[in-house]
Amino acid sequence: MMASNYNAKEEDGHQPAAIGHGGAGTVKNKKPDNTAFKQQRLPAWQPILTAGTVLPAFFVIGLIFIPIGIGLFVTSNNIKELEVTSQLIVPCYNCSQSYSWNSTKPCTCSVPFSLDQPFESNVFMYYGLSNFYQNHRRYVKSRDDSQLNGDKASLKSPSKECEPYRTSDEKPIAPCGAIANSLFNDTLELYYIDPNGSRTAIPLVKKGIAWWTDKHVKFRNPGGNDNLTVVFQGTSKPVNWRKSVYELDPSDPDNNGFINEDFIVWMRTAALPTFRKLYRIIHKKPNMTPTLPLGRYILEVTYNYPVRSFEGRKRMILSTISWMGGKNPFLGIAYITVGSVCFFLGIVLLIIHHKYGNRNHSADIRS
Amino acid sequence: MGSLLSQLGLECGRKEVKEEERHLRANDREFNLSYEYADNAIKTSKYNIFTFLPLNLFEQFQRLANAYFLFLLCLQLIPEISSLSWFTTVVPLVLVLSMTMAKDGSDDINRHRCDRQVNNRKVEVLIDGELRSEKWMDVQVGDIIKLENNQFVTADLLLLSSSEPLNLIYIETAELDGETNLKVKQALTVTGELEDCIEKLANFNGEVRCEPPNNRLDKFTGTLTLKGEMYSLDNERVLLRGCTLRNTQWCFGLVVFGGPDTKLMQNCGKTTLKRTSIDRLMNVLVLSIFGFLAVMCLILAVGNGIWEYQEGSKFAAFLPKQEGVNAPFSAFLTFWSYVIILNTVVPISLYVSVEIIRLGNSFYIDWDRKMYYPKSDTPAEARTTTLNEELGQIKYIFSDKTGTLTQNIMTFNKCSINGKSYGELLDFSGQRVEINEKTEKVDFSWNNLADPKFCFHDHSLVEVVREGNPEVQAFFRLLALCHTVMPEEKKEGELYYQAQSPDEGALVTAARNFGFVFRSRTPESITVVEMGELVTYELLAVLDFNNVRKRMSVIVRSPEGKLTLYCKGADTIIFERLNPSCSKLKEVTTEHLNEYAGDGLRTLALAYKDIDPKYMEEWKLRHHEASTAMDEREEKLDALYEEIEKGLLLLGSTAVEDKLQDGVPQTIEQLSKADIKIWVLTGDKQETAENIGYSCNMLREEMTEVFIVSANTAEEVRKELQTARRKMRPDGPEEPTVTKSRSGLFCLLKTETVADEPVDGEYAMVINGHSLAFALEKDMEMELLRTACMCQTVICCRVTPLQKAQVVELVKKYKQAITLAIGDGANDVSMIKAAHIGVGISGQEGMQAVLSSDFSFAQFRYLQRLLLVHGRWSYLRMCKFLRYFFYKNFTFTFVHFWYGFFCGFSAQTVYDEWFITLYNLVYTALPVLALSLFDQDVNDRWSFQYPKLYAPGQLNQYFSKRAFVYTVLHSGYSSLVLFFIPWAAMYDTVRDDGKDIVDYQSFALLAQTCLLIAVSIQLGLDTHYWTSVNQFFLWGSLCVYFAVIFTMYSNGMFLIFTSSFPFIGTARNSLNQPNVWLTMLLTSILCVLPVVAYRFLRILLWPTVNDKVRYKVRQDKVLPPAPRRVQARRTSTRRSGYAFSHAQGYGDLVTSGRFLRWTPKSRPALFSQTDSPLAQTQPQFYRTINEGGEPPLSP
């Protein structure tokens, strides 16, 4: 022990260096510079895990997480959500069994359902698909962003990634690729059945369902929005489509072609094989009546989209939302669990610390 | 692998035929060229300008990781497989290759420069009858070259003639064997006649036949044929490259071996690339990671096959199959796609980062002011930048003695004359005053023959001498007369003593300064200037030193005709022969001797005796008779000596300090506290080595036993070793416990490890070169190793350079421990190269050791700082780095694995491709570098305070296969959290305005952000030493990440490079969602929580030394007291014997004057013994030379 830092003074440079200070132009020696960096003496904070820091941290985390979790859980529970699985109903089941891409005539069916509580505020209508691998590597890359962004060169000759949906009848497909080709094209309509038996169509808003950036930056029609028919001349519609891309919503030029919002929503591929996509919005009524009062409803489905082949499931979801998005109790439960575990761990560690803690640190260290 | 290549390169250029005999003719280049001997150029560089690029690339791609990345790159070019863009691989690969290339290039340029400098040295060569100045590299075998004083010997030469009488030359062999005293070589008379007559030399056409090139420094056999007569050649005729000519005006030599064939170069051995154990472990790990990767890919590929079979076919309406791809083929393709995606388990940046960290830690060594030696202006130097972390794992240190532990300077320190001790300074109260550089020195200016370098601090002694005290005068007279030193007086009054051992020189120098100047000697007389008066003594007899007698005496006749015998020797020996009248003085002197020995000084007792002239005459007759006796000459002489060295009168004793380097005992103490075993391997004599062992605390009085192994036959050695072992461990097993295991790449390496055996008590072993030669034989090495490893200290004396390396290899082979060799001379080169880490002491005369070392500094004591501070930190940092690095990459990769189950095993990435490219290069590169460049658990002072902190490195605790498995499990857990928490939190949910949030891009962003935050927090947990740089890098990297994603996902980037940045708007749209942030918080906490709890529990329940010290540091909040240097005062009663480190020799010569009558023909008998196998294993000490070639004495 005694040998450490032998001659520290002499060699540490605390003593003014005789050489170099005396006069200008003295011999430059090889003595290393005395900087904190080179001598590895940079000032530093050296935290260690002590009972004083770890235990309070556990308790604090526990105390913070549990209320957050409760808040999240309550919020999630307050969200009203209704899921309608269309296949379960006989007419639609028949549709789903018989329908394929080749069918020329759409199959329609209606699904009755009822709400046991009114939905206040805005209600969002989703369609959900299960077992649909929108995240498959070959599927995900089967698109041409330049084409969708309105690049005319890409319109005429789409990227290779779009194969085999790149050309049809020697004409380029617009929009090309497997994603676009498999666009969800069922039509859903919602009717409220009055207690007296009459059907009232519920107004469904089809705009404002896509990301702003997608609608305004990522997707653009070639040559702006003027006369899409001309612009898309010389291109072919995707094989599975019934109508061309410029016929998606002829009524509204701002919702037609590549910037059709249904199309944009579909093109934002899902991360997981079970997903829901926003279909329509039911805006809150200005008066005090609930957006969707409780009672019986009918969902009219124009069945265009075959899912039977891959054992997929179609769903229609009606949901209100909160500040934390849609209904998902997981976060709330997880927070409560983690918070409790933290708290519990804190207590366990505290007990262990009390029992064994002092023994070890007071023990002498052999030097 | 690199060395393999260069070897191949070398081998190709050389003829495969092994040389069996060398045959050359002087002055006949054409004849000699026909044999294609190597010329004198040396080449250590690897590349030239044209071969650099291809060779270097070839070498680099031999590296597993690089080759792997090249392979990946090829895979990515196949569109069916490519799951990532090409840039994700190319960018890192190019970066890595170019960095390594730059480093290799600059290294090789340095080597070129070195080679050029040596090759371009000039030497005079005899060509076409005239001397021409030629470059070293142009010298050919068979050339005659002329060397002048103080020149380096160019190649291995056959000495032809010299300027000195009797064709002698003096050389210094410090570069070769580390010995600094001069050695003599002598030319054959027949060639000596050539002198410096150029004409004769040019016509000289002798033919030499000799052994092929080899690395034996002490052996040379050959013949010279001249004018039909054969002359035999031996080692004495040969000058080896690396020596320096001294005290000789000129000499001529015939080049026998040149360049790579010289014994020096042959001894250098091939430079094997040293790799650290972590390196080797890393290779094994990388390989097992490959295996692991293959398994993961296989699982996913099988999954893909099943998916394609069950789901894919049905899904074909939306996603048509590729042409000709069925389920098994798709699985096959997927396998390779996943190989690409999961490649990050073997990150290419790993190797680069490791290199950078090592480089950084090497710079710290270069920069350390506490390892800078102001006196010689030498900073420490890390010459190899790839071995740092191994400095923290050293288990065995092999040290040279002379020049490493000691300064090789003897100083006359104290003496006891007639019962009074001198040399110590006492203050007024009688307390000892510590002597340091500022203490006033005794002024010797009254004596104009004094040696100005001599210093002594006790004034009283000078006063006593000058007063004319007869005992004191007799004391110094004895020192001036009784020795075998040769004086050299170049200028009037400038005396140089040529002593065979430095202690003898020190004693004669002391006498010189105190007014008894030994001036000159002839075989019959010694001339001394006594207090200014010239006195010539007639030298009647020298009763020389040998190991048994442990004393030497001279009998002289003073000018007044008084006959006196002066004797100096080991105290025990002298005391036995004292006149009973001295018993009182003996007691006092004994006390003083004990005191000196306690200070670690080497002591001698001095005595004298007046002799009756008549008796002397009679004795001389008998002496003559005995010395010419045909049989039992030695015994007869010994008996005669014994008879006359009786009834001596004690004069006193001397104490010579074999000056240890500063701080050596303390350093050794520190290192042994750190559980490092120190073995001293020295060419010195046993006594000297033992003495040093005691004075530097390696051997201690309180040790249970010190075994001395010095036997002459293999059986005896084995017996001694076994006896020692049984004594240390009576109940131990007879057979060593050997663990056989396989390691290395593909487990090709078979290793045998001998387990450490615990012993009670402290033992030490001293073994001499003789015994070592037997003990190192195959059948006994295990015995040696076991016995030696049970001892605390092992001292091997009289060892050759080769044996030094063998010992190191032995320990390396069976202990699987990290070894370090430290030395200063060329004789240490072999062991420096053999050990895992070689350290050279710089600033001494020879640079050989430093040049072949990995680290160098000026003082032995810096070793403790190198190991306990730099080594420990380097190891700690490297291990932390590796653990963390593997953690972050495994976590990163495993998330892909989990995602595979949710994307139809289609090799879809979880993250943005840009994130994959930049994750290792940008987002996590700097923080982890900061961690591994700045982290320290405790600062240097505490590291010294608790040497035990060094132990984890020796036990490989911080990074091993086990630690690696833990890391993998940890990242497995983290990746589960990092994938499934976002998965569950985002399942079927939407934004707060009802729009999409579970789209692929948002999910990718969420997953990658969670990952980055989690690994950053983990880094924070691992960091023990938070400098501002760490903070800056960590926060900076996170900021850079957010800046980069907002830039890459911006409108501008999308509109310019539409296809490269499809993630437009993702950052803006998802990072404003509260549930995204809540998910990140949850994942981070969940990743960190178990780690914190586990670590806290570990510290609480099973704290390591490290934890304890860190806790203590925190508690004390102060630095440990800077410990003072305390001169260890030993209470030892052990006294050093007559420990002159010279061989018997001069004495005989001094009296006989045989060198004057000597003719070459009478010599062969002297050489017969040197060819016995035993002598060959002995170190090279030029015993034979002394007898033949004594310098002529000046009258």
Query: What percentage of chain B has pLDDT greater than the value 90?
Result: 19
Distance from CA of A301 to the nearest CA of B (A): 21
Predicted pLDDT at B205: 84
pLDDT at B986 over 60: yes
SS3 for B248-259 is CCEEEEEEEECH
Q: Which residues of chain B have a CB within 8 Å of the CB of A12?
A: 369-370
Q: Would you list the DSSP string of B316-385?
A: GGTSPPPTT--HHHHHHHHHHHHHHHGGGGS-THHHHHHHHHHHHHHHHHHH-GGG-BTTTTB--EES-S
Q: Do the Cβ atoms of B1062 and A145 come within 8 Å?
A: yes
**Contacts within 8 Å (CB) and 24+ apart, B122-129:** B123/B147, B123/B151, B123/B154, B124/B148, B126/B27, B126/B198, B126/B201, B126/B202, B126/B252, B128/B202, B129/B198, B129/B199, B129/B202
Q: How far apart are CA B162 and CA B157, in angstroms?
A: 13
Give chain A's count of helices (H) and strands (E).
12, 11
Q: Which residues of chain B have a CB within 8 Å of the CB of A272?
A: 902, 983, 986-987, 998, 1003
Q: Do the Cβ atoms of A145 and B1058 come within 8 Å?
A: yes
DSSP 3-state assignment of A274?
coil
Q: Across residues B590-611, what is the average pLDDT?
A: 84
Q: Binning pLDDT at 50, 70 and 90, where does residue A17 land?
A: very low
pLDDT at B831 over 90: no
CB nearest A214 (choices: B667, B903, B1065)? B1065
Q: Do the Cβ atoms of B906 and A142 come within 8 Å?
A: no
| Lowest mean pLDDT across B87-101, B270-284, B791-805, B1141-1155 | B1141-1155
pLDDT at B175 over 80: no
DSSP 3-state assignment of B37?
coil
Distance from CA of B60 to the nearest CA of A (A): 32
Q: Do the Cβ atoms of A342 and B318 come within 8 Å?
A: no
Q: Binning pLDDT at 50, 70 and 90, where does residue B267 land?
A: low
What is the overall mean pLDDT for chain A?
A: 83
Q: How far apart are CA A39 and CA A213, in angstroms?
A: 53
Residue B613 CB coordination number (10 Å)? 12
User: Could you tell me the two tokens for A240?
Assistant: 């599975």
Predicted pLDDT at B746: 58
Predicted pLDDT at B273: 67
Q: How far apart are CA A282 and CA B1070, in angstroms?
A: 23
Predicted pLDDT at B1102: 86
Q: Binning pLDDT at 50, 70 and 90, where does residue B9 land?
A: very low
Q: How far apart are CA B647 and CA B582, in angstroms?
A: 10
Predicted pLDDT at B82: 81
Predicted pLDDT at B1139: 43
Please list, in sequence order, all residues whose beta carbon lies within 8 angstroms of the beta carbon of residue A190, skipping any fewer than 6 positions away. Answer: A125, A201, A202, A204, A282, A297, A298, A299, A300
CB B527 within 8 A of CB B521: yes
pLDDT in tens, B195-236: 888 888 888 888 888 888 887 777 788 888 888 888 888 888
Q: Do the Cβ atoms of B990 and A366 come within 8 Å?
A: no
Q: Which residues of chain B have a CB within 8 Å of the CB of A122?
A: 994
Query: What percentage of chain B has pLDDT greater than the value 70?
Result: 88
Residue B568 annotated as part of some ligand binding site: yes
Which chain B residue is nearest to residue A309, measuring alpha carbons?
Answer: B314
CB B1095 within 8 A of CB B998: no
Q: Binning pLDDT at 50, 70 and 90, where does residue B366 land?
A: very high
pLDDT in tens, B56-65: 888 888 777 7
Predicted pLDDT at A126: 93
Q: Binning pLDDT at 50, 70 and 90, where does residue B1128 land?
A: very low
pLDDT at B1155 over 90: no
Predicted pLDDT at B1040: 95
Predicted pLDDT at B1157: 33
CB nearest B311 (choices: A4, A276, A310)? A310
Predicted pLDDT at B822: 92
Predicted pLDDT at B1153: 42
Q: Do the Cβ atoms of A138 and B987 come within 8 Å?
A: no
Q: How many CB pairs under 8 A join A and B?
A: 357
Q: Is A79 on the interface with B (CB under 8 A)?
A: no
Which chain A residue is nearest to residue B322, measuring alpha carbons?
Answer: A164
Distance from CA of A77 to the nearest CA of B (A): 13
Q: How far apart are CA B25 and CA A70, in angstroms?
A: 101
CB A150 within 8 A of CB A258: yes
What is the Cα Rg of chain A in Å? 33
Q: Binning pLDDT at 50, 70 and 90, where does residue B8 land?
A: very low
Output B1129 or A258, whichever has higher pLDDT.
A258
| Lowest mean pLDDT across A140-144, B274-278, B589-593 | B274-278
Predicted pLDDT at B878: 93
* Cis peptide leading into residue A238 (ω within 30°): no
Q: Across residues B312-317, what is the average pLDDT?
A: 76
What is the overall mean pLDDT for chain B?
A: 82
Q: Across residues B695-716, what is the average pLDDT?
A: 84
CB B970 within 8 A of CB B1091: yes
Q: Which residues of chain B have a CB within 8 Å of the CB of A266?
A: none
Q: Which residues of chain A have a CB within 8 Å of the CB of B1113?
A: 46
Q: Binning pLDDT at 50, 70 and 90, where does residue B971 land?
A: very high
Q: Which residues of chain A have a CB within 8 Å of the CB of B370?
A: 5, 8, 11-12
Q: Across residues B853-857, what is the average pLDDT?
A: 88
Q: Binning pLDDT at 50, 70 and 90, where does residue B1092 land?
A: very high
| Lowest mean pLDDT across B259-263, B478-482, B1136-1140 | B1136-1140
* Cis peptide leading into residue B1173 (ω within 30°): no
pLDDT at A25 over 50: no
Q: Do the Cβ atoms of B861 and A325 come within 8 Å?
A: no
Residue type, B219: K
Residue B1133 annotated as part of some ligand binding site: no
Residue A25 CB coordination number (10 Å)? 6
Q: Which residues of chain A have a CB within 8 Å of the CB of B1068?
A: 213
Q: Is A204 on the interface with B (CB under 8 A)?
A: no
Which chain A residue is nearest to residue B1103, measuring alpha carbons?
Answer: A360
pLDDT in tens, A156-167: 888 888 888 888
| Lowest mean pLDDT across A244-253, A280-289, B317-326 | B317-326
Q: Across residues B487-492, what is the average pLDDT?
A: 73
Predicted pLDDT at A359: 54
Q: Which residues of B are catalytic?
A: 400
Q: Which residues of chain B have a CB within 8 Å of the CB of A46?
A: 1024-1026, 1110, 1113-1114
Q: Binning pLDDT at 50, 70 and 90, where does residue B180 land?
A: low
Distance from CA of A65 to the nearest CA of B (A): 9
CB nearest B1123 (choices: A4, A212, A270)? A4
Q: Do the Cβ atoms of B1093 and A345 come within 8 Å?
A: yes
Tabulate helix, strand, coil % of chain B (nearest 5): 50, 20, 35
Predicted pLDDT at A23: 39
Q: Do the Cβ atoms of A352 and B663 come within 8 Å?
A: no
CB B185 within 8 A of CB B172: no
Q: Which residues of chain B have a CB within 8 Å of the CB of A8?
A: 370, 1122
pLDDT in tens, A334-353: 999 999 999 999 999 999 98
Distance from CA of B682 to the nearest CA of A (A): 24
Q: Do the Cβ atoms of B319 and A142 come within 8 Å?
A: yes
pLDDT in tens, B496-542: 787 767 778 889 988 988 889 988 887 788 889 888 888 999 988 88
The closest of B616, B479, B504 to B557, measured between CA atoms, is B616
| Lowest mean pLDDT across A275-284, B284-293, B700-709, B1180-1189 | B1180-1189
User: Given CA atoms B463, B469, B473, B475 in this order, what sign does their dihedral have?
Assistant: negative
CB nearest A367 (choices: B666, B864, B946)? B946
Of the segments B284-293, B375-384, B964-973, B990-999, which one has the largest average pLDDT value? Answer: B964-973
DSSP 3-state assignment of A272?
coil
pTM of the model as a whole: 0.81
Distance from CA of A284 to the nearest CA of B (A): 14
Residue B1030 annotated as part of some ligand binding site: no
Residue B683 annotated as part of some ligand binding site: yes
ipTM of the complex: 0.91
DSSP 3-state assignment of B1190?
coil
Predicted pLDDT at B1111: 83
CA angle A160, A163, A167 (to 5 degrees): 95
Q: Do the Cβ atoms of B373 and A11 come within 8 Å?
A: yes
Q: How far apart are CA B30 and CA B142, in angstroms?
A: 10
Q: Binning pLDDT at 50, 70 and 90, where does residue B629 land?
A: confident
Residue B115 annotated as part of some ligand binding site: no
pLDDT at B1191 over 50: no
Q: Do the Cβ atoms of A178 and B985 come within 8 Å?
A: no
Predicted pLDDT at B217: 72
The closest of A365, A266, A230, A74 to B318, measured between CA atoms, is A266
Q: How far apart are CA B1065 and CA B1045, in angstroms?
A: 10
Q: Binning pLDDT at 50, 70 and 90, where does residue B1166 land?
A: very low
| Lowest mean pLDDT across B134-148, B681-695, B991-1005 | B681-695
Predicted pLDDT at A364: 57
